[in-house]
Structure 1
Amino acid sequence: MYKEVDSIESLGSTLHSYLSEDQVNQIKRAYYYAEQAHEGQRRRSGEPYVTHPLAVAGILADMHMDHQSLMAAMLHDVIEDTGISKSALGKQFGETVADLVDGVSKLTQMESQTRAEAQADNFQKMALAMAKDIRVILVKLADRLHNMRTLRVLKTEKRQRIAKETLDMYAPIAQRLGMHNIRVEFEDLGFAALNPMRSSRIRSAVKSARGNRREIIEQIKESIEACLEREGHPAVVSGREKHLYSIYQKMRTKRKAFADIMDIYAFRIVVDNVDTCYRVLGCIHSLYKPVPGQFKDYIAIPKSNGYQSLHTILKGMHGVPIEIQIRTTEMEEMANHGIAAHWLYKTNEGQPLNGSHTRARQWLQGLLEMQQRAGDSLEFIESVKIDLFPDEVYVFTPNGRILELPQGSTAVDFAYAVHTDVGNRCVACRINRRLAPLSEKLQSGQTVEIITSSGAQPNVAWLNFVVSGKARTNIRHYLKNQLSSESVALGRRLLEKALHGLNTSIEQLSEQQKERLLSNTGVQTFERVLEEIGLGNRVSFLTAHQLLAETDADGKITHPEGSKHQPLVIRGSEGFRVNYARCCYPIPGDAIVGFISSERGIVVHTDRCHNSLDFRNNPERSVPLRWDDDLQGEFSVELRIELEKSRGIIAVLATRINGYDANIEKISIDEEGPHLNIVHVVIGVHSRVHLARIMKQLRGIKEVLKVVRAKH
């Protein structure tokens, strides 16, 4: 647990242990500046306000953070609460410190927002600030930690809101950056604020259980230490306590009793080097029997936040389960402090990044990519929350590279983790050399190979099973762009048709006409106008009239005359911005009419469909259509077949339909009486002529009484 300081002098003694005299003096100058800026301001507890930034700096000093981070901690509320500008701070303490303070201030504003959009918006700003300098989030985590420690002075409602936000966002971020100590304190303080009664009861139960377990813990510890001493492995052995929130979560999610959770005895063994870790593991396994399948090597394959350790579970005396973690002193430091351990800014120029920093940078780079591709801030924050899962699976590419993915990931998540283009062109996968569904969940240790095709594209159905933020964001981004391009193409055709009826075309429009339309409608680009027409948000013939409208001598707008309404041609290859109604199943040869829908583009109905009669009263949304003379493709149509009950009759129907090159898409049977069935079958045909041949064949079956196209 990070201790608090109560004066600049007591902080100074900690700082002198790892910073130069000049750096300590700069931090003290920042403190006195903050003290003067916050003069007269007090916290809710009644203490002078400057005690808060001092405490935040103390938490960072315990992590041995650099002097610029501590200066930013001292000044982090100055811009927000005192009216001093960022430029003024820059002149006093340098641009780097001013940028850090500004980044932390944006995050503080985020907390005061109540609307989801505003909060998500500010979280995007946080991502940018973090990507520029990750120390922003470290100062913010320390700031939030001190606020959580002093929550008791706030009203219940605000206390619970801040606690929930901490558990939802800040604890997972601390976990993602490997900062175990901060995460544990966040979770326990948040749990106590949200569920004070449960927290108190579990705390009392742990205290009681600790006393009952003391003798067994000492016996196990002594036997481990004796074993290590015999083998000549110097090590520090300590008991490991589960924190309150993790006990509560296991009781709730795994539906375990408190006694079951406390029945596990946990120990940590810290040694001097990696080689000794594995030697100690062998020593421990010779002392107690290991539980099969419960060994995990996070030294060879570190967790995504840089965590490294050997984990094993043993059966001790009387069958008591014992959890053991074995790690080096450096790994222990990294496990507790994460990215703050061996801080990057204390290393020499050009020195390579350590594993934790490299992974943190990769995560931040991923955040920026998601932000650029997300449709809005709410979609972005949803993706970020998905990626803050603490559990990962580790899978291999065919050439042996290891990829870390969130628990529950599929081959599609894997494909996007390899590269966005691989994800976009993914068509199939092999898991451990066998063909497998793209939706199959991956397990650690599997080798995954992605099969791609140059003509492939993401499927909207993938959104039902992908779990990583990168996959979800890229799929949505691709589909959105595809929808946009298809809508532009459809909008161009609709507008061209409307202009043709007014004896002109898009090519003949002048730039002045287009600019006047954009000015009058407030739309940014002419392509956006076409997209809105294609989406059904703008009516083509009205837009055509707006484009061709002229101003007369009196300043009145005059519209062109002599419109020739020629139908839009349906070619059958327009993409998903032209849809065929399921109420009447139009096919080539039918008289057709279209309805413009904002969700589905043009919806094609038969001329006699009762739904088409309804929307014809809305001429702005209806559009005349005709089939192209050289139309090719397959179109769905529904038949209603009355027949006598007979064994195998459905197989006979299917054989006749397939014999005439038609696919059966759906079939259902209704009983009309003891001897009569009504079969509804949806088949794929090329035209009305093709359909007529199939219906003629079906009528030739002796059990069939009647075959007609279904009407709804």
Structure 2
Amino acid sequence: MSKKIIQSERIKKAVDFATKAHEGQKRKSGEPYIIHPKAVMETLLEWGMDEDTAIAGVLHDTVEDTGVTLEEIKQEFGEPVAFLVDGVTKIGKARQGMRDIDTYLPVTRDNLLRLLVATGSDIRVLIIKLADRLHNLRTLSALSPEKQKKIAKETLEIFAPLADRLNMGKLRVEMSDIAFSYVDPRRYEELKKIIETRNQSAEKALKKIKNEVSEALSKEKINFEINGRVKSVYSLHKKLAKYNQNINEVYDLTALRVIVDDITSCYLVLGLIHSLYTPMTGRIKDYVAVPKQNGYQSLHTTVITPDKRIVEFQIRTKDMHEYAERGLAASFYYNEQKLTESYKTGKIQHLPTNLLWISELQMAAAKLRDGQQVDLKKLKLNLFADKIFVYTPKGDIIDLPVGALPLDFAYRLHSEVGGHVIGAKINGKLSNLNTKLKSGDVVEILTSKNQTVRASWLDKIITPHARAKIKQQLSRTIESIVGPNKKK
């Protein structure tokens, strides 16, 4: 698919257009600037993205860094490409308005992630931005140590989690490991050595287990592939933090991955593996029946072999594996043609729930290609479908579940704010504490030092966090009045 698209006249025209626009511009390495947008385009093609996205990739810096206008891009390459370039440009401007990453509080870092999502109203805008960041990471050595660390830290805080939200596992791993090698080079090398040493010592045993499983699956005439998966350096770093730096608690340093043709075979393989080895209690996870929020599907099990070796297995279909590696980019690859066709024929494709928004997006793209009108503002990214985003008067973005009320918002800001609420203003107007908040609302919490928590507030919240804080405050209030030993 990539080679075929690369030969298209539109892409050649876009490369020529970008080359002319960036003429005379240099990167920090001294190389011609056009090397960067061309690399972004090539990455998008490798990921299997559509032609419009690839073209927008090579043009993504033209509006921000050259004299080219959006109107020119629209005239030369069409409305969809102009829309994507505009989205990437807006993300760039939004990021410039944020404070230096080193001064962020955790909530502010999360705000930037949400800002990227909110700005990228077409998922392809975010995928272009990720391709842009990937090439910048791969060429980070040309920058000063200070900038290297800043970009690397921002990647770990913002862009790698964004790749994870889009289930682009392969990208998340590469971005995280490159960034971590700049943020903490000594720790990176230390963990890299640990992984290499442990894998070498386990190689012979894993080969034996692999052969045993292969033999059992072949006897059952199951079509399969089996290979090893080595844990990334940054993933190990995060895992060790959870287990108090005890490497012996990390069971999935190396895992065996079994890829089969269909879901039925996934469960057959799980049963066969459990017949060969003893499964560890609490270590069986069914992400096939209940996928992760980002759409990831796989069966995970950790087993103990007769020689007391602990091994993790991941079992999935080919489609699940492709999605786990390339995430939503893979969904575009597989669904673009049939979604376009479904629009033309009027037949609805039955996609998994987490991919339904992609069909809306691509059917809209098909309409644009056919010269029809589409309200681009309605193409909203659905990564946070179960959440609303409301603002403080200072402009901080707070995410809450759908149906949240002002007290949920107050306790999300701080439990001390929540405990002294006397009212709330929503979009500048005094509002009842039973008012359900909506995305985009600006909420101001009114407080008084004389106000104390009330039991009736438990009926004016929906979040577990607010409920827990109110109960704690009520308990403290009772203790202060009757003493700790006289509570009923």
Q: Does the C-alpha gap of structure 1 residues 263 and 114 become closer, same or farther in structure 2, counting only changes over 3 Å? A: closer
Bigger strand fraction: 1
Matches within 5 A, 1:175-186: 175-186=164-175
Tell me the residue number matched to 2:209.
220
The answer on whether the counterparts of 1:171 and 1:183 sit within 8 Å (CA) in structure 2 is yes
Q: Note if 1:362 corresponds to 2:382.
A: yes
Q: Does the C-alpha gap of structure 1 residues 83 and 297 become closer, same or farther in structure 2, counting only changes over 3 Å? A: same
Q: Which amino acid aligns with 2:217?
A: L
Matches within 5 A, 1:509-520: none
Q: Note if 1:127 corresponds to 2:117.
A: yes
Q: Does the C-alpha gap of structure 1 residues 128 and 479 become closer, same or farther in structure 2, counting only changes over 3 Å? A: same
Q: Note if 1:190 corresponds to 2:179.
A: yes
The answer on whether the counterparts of 2:87 and 2:119 sit within 8 Å (CA) in structure 1 is yes
Tell me the residue number matched to 2:265.
276
Q: Give the SS at the match of 2:481.
A: strand
Matches within 5 A, 1:144-543: 144-258=133-247, 260-261=249-250, 265-343=254-332, 344-346=335-337, 347-348=339-340, 349=343, 350-358=348-356, 361-365=381-385, 369-370=388-389, 373-375=390-392, 379-380=396-397, 383=399, 416-417=401-402, 420=403, 423-424=404-405, 458=407, 462-463=411-412, 479-481=424-426, 484-485=429-430
2:95 and 2:450 map into 1 onto residues whose CA distance is 48
1:64 and 1:365 map into 2 onto residues whose CA distance is 25
Q: Give the SS at the match of 1:317.
A: coil
Q: CA shift at 1:256, angstroms?
A: 2.9
Q: Does the C-alpha gap of structure 1 residues 581 and 287 become closer, same or farther in structure 2, counting only changes over 3 Å? A: closer
2:214 and 2:324 map into 1 onto residues whose CA distance is 23
2:269 and 2:76 map into 1 onto residues whose CA distance is 53
The answer on whether the counterparts of 1:209 and 1:262 sit within 8 Å (CA) in structure 2 is no
Aligned with residue 481 of structure 2, among 649, 666, 671:
666
The answer on whether the counterparts of 1:307 and 1:335 sit within 8 Å (CA) in structure 2 is yes
1:20 and 1:35 map into 2 onto residues whose CA distance is 16
Tell me the residue number matched to 1:522.
none
Aligned with residue 64 of structure 2, among 63, 80, 93:
80
Q: Does the C-alpha gap of structure 1 residues 79 and 353 become closer, same or farther in structure 2, counting only changes over 3 Å? A: farther
Q: Could you state the TM-score of these two structures normalised by the residue count of structure 1?
A: 0.52
Return 279-288 or 115-124, whichever deviates more. 115-124
1:667 and 1:483 map into 2 onto residues whose CA distance is 40
The answer on whether the counterparts of 2:84 and 2:124 sit within 8 Å (CA) in structure 1 is yes
2:109 and 2:240 map into 1 onto residues whose CA distance is 32
Q: Which amino acid aligns with 2:66?
A: T
Matches within 5 A, 1:5-24: 14-16=2-4, 19=5, 24=8
Bigger helix fraction: 2
Q: Does the C-alpha gap of structure 1 residues 140 and 484 become closer, same or farther in structure 2, counting only changes over 3 Å? A: same
2:85 and 2:124 map into 1 onto residues whose CA distance is 10
1:479 and 1:101 map into 2 onto residues whose CA distance is 39
Greater relative contact order, per chain length (Cα 8 Å cut-off, separation 6+): 2
The answer on whether the counterparts of 1:298 and 1:310 sit within 8 Å (CA) in structure 2 is yes
Q: Which amino acid aligns with 1:80?
A: E
Q: Does the C-alpha gap of structure 1 residues 178 and 355 become closer, same or farther in structure 2, counting only changes over 3 Å? A: farther
Q: Could you state the TM-score of these two structures normalised by the residue count of structure 2?
A: 0.74
Q: Give the SS at the match of 1:342.
A: helix
1:115 and 1:297 map into 2 onto residues whose CA distance is 41
2:190 and 2:278 map into 1 onto residues whose CA distance is 34
Q: Give the SS at the match of 2:425.
A: helix
Q: Which amino acid aligns with 1:666?
A: I
2:480 and 2:167 map into 1 onto residues whose CA distance is 52
Q: Does the C-alpha gap of structure 1 residues 325 and 83 become closer, same or farther in structure 2, counting only changes over 3 Å? A: same
The answer on whether the counterparts of 2:91 and 2:120 sit within 8 Å (CA) in structure 1 is no
Query: Which structure has the greater CA radius of gyration?
Result: 1
Q: CA shift at 1:355, angstroms?
A: 4.0
Q: CA shift at 1:485, angstroms?
A: 1.7
The answer on whether the counterparts of 1:71 and 1:97 sit within 8 Å (CA) in structure 2 is yes
Deviations 1:486-506 (A, max 9, x none): 79xxxxxxxxxxxxxxxxxxx
Q: Does the C-alpha gap of structure 1 residues 379 and 92 become closer, same or farther in structure 2, counting only changes over 3 Å? A: same
The answer on whether the counterparts of 1:106 and 1:125 sit within 8 Å (CA) in structure 2 is no
Q: CA shift at 1:227, angstroms?
A: 1.1
1:48 and 1:70 map into 2 onto residues whose CA distance is 20
Q: CA shift at 1:279, angstroms?
A: 0.8
Q: Give the SS at the match of 2:383.
A: helix
Q: Which amino acid aligns with 1:203?
A: K
Q: CA shift at 1:253, angstroms?
A: 2.9
1:125 and 1:465 map into 2 onto residues whose CA distance is 22
2:357 and 2:227 map into 1 onto residues whose CA distance is 29
Q: Which amino acid aligns with 1:212?
A: S
Q: Give the SS at the match of 2:36.
A: helix
Q: Note if 1:31 corresponds to 2:15.
A: yes
1:294 and 1:304 map into 2 onto residues whose CA distance is 19
Q: Does the C-alpha gap of structure 1 residues 63 and 460 become closer, same or farther in structure 2, counting only changes over 3 Å? A: closer
Q: CA shift at 1:480, angstroms?
A: 3.5
Q: Give the SS at the match of 1:84.
A: coil
Deviations 1:665-696 (A, max 9, x none): 72579xxxxxxxxxxxxxxxxxxxxxxxxxxx
1:581 and 1:309 map into 2 onto residues whose CA distance is 51
Q: Does the C-alpha gap of structure 1 residues 666 and 288 become closer, same or farther in structure 2, counting only changes over 3 Å? A: same
Deviations 1:96-119 (A, max 9, x none): 101111111222334445626999
The answer on whether the counterparts of 1:141 and 1:170 sit within 8 Å (CA) in structure 2 is yes
Tell me the residue number matched to 2:88.
104
2:97 and 2:479 map into 1 onto residues whose CA distance is 55
Tell me the residue number matched to 2:377.
none
Percent sequence identity is 33
1:581 and 1:148 map into 2 onto residues whose CA distance is 51
Q: Does the C-alpha gap of structure 1 residues 85 and 364 become closer, same or farther in structure 2, counting only changes over 3 Å? A: farther
Q: CA shift at 1:482, angstroms?
A: 10
The answer on whether the counterparts of 1:72 and 1:98 sit within 8 Å (CA) in structure 2 is yes
Q: Does the C-alpha gap of structure 1 residues 378 and 200 become closer, same or farther in structure 2, counting only changes over 3 Å? A: farther
1:240 and 1:581 map into 2 onto residues whose CA distance is 56
Q: CA shift at 1:298, angstroms?
A: 0.8
2:309 and 2:424 map into 1 onto residues whose CA distance is 54
1:273 and 1:123 map into 2 onto residues whose CA distance is 35
Tell me the residue number matched to 1:56.
40
Q: Which amino acid aligns with 2:412?
A: L
Q: CA shift at 1:282, angstroms?
A: 0.8
Aligned residues: 407
Q: CA shift at 1:353, angstroms?
A: 4.2
Tell me the residue number matched to 2:463.
none
1:212 and 1:483 map into 2 onto residues whose CA distance is 65
- Stretches of structure 1 that go unaligned for 5 or more consecutive residues are 1-12, 384-412, 425-456, 467-471, 488-531, 536-575, 583-662, 670-712
Q: Note if 1:69 corresponds to 2:14.
A: no
The answer on whether the counterparts of 1:238 and 1:269 sit within 8 Å (CA) in structure 2 is yes
The answer on whether the counterparts of 1:306 and 1:355 sit within 8 Å (CA) in structure 2 is no
2:157 and 2:194 map into 1 onto residues whose CA distance is 26
Deviations 1:558-607 (A, max 9, x none): xxxxxxxxxxxxxxxxxx8788699xxxxxxxxxxxxxxxxxxxxxxxxx
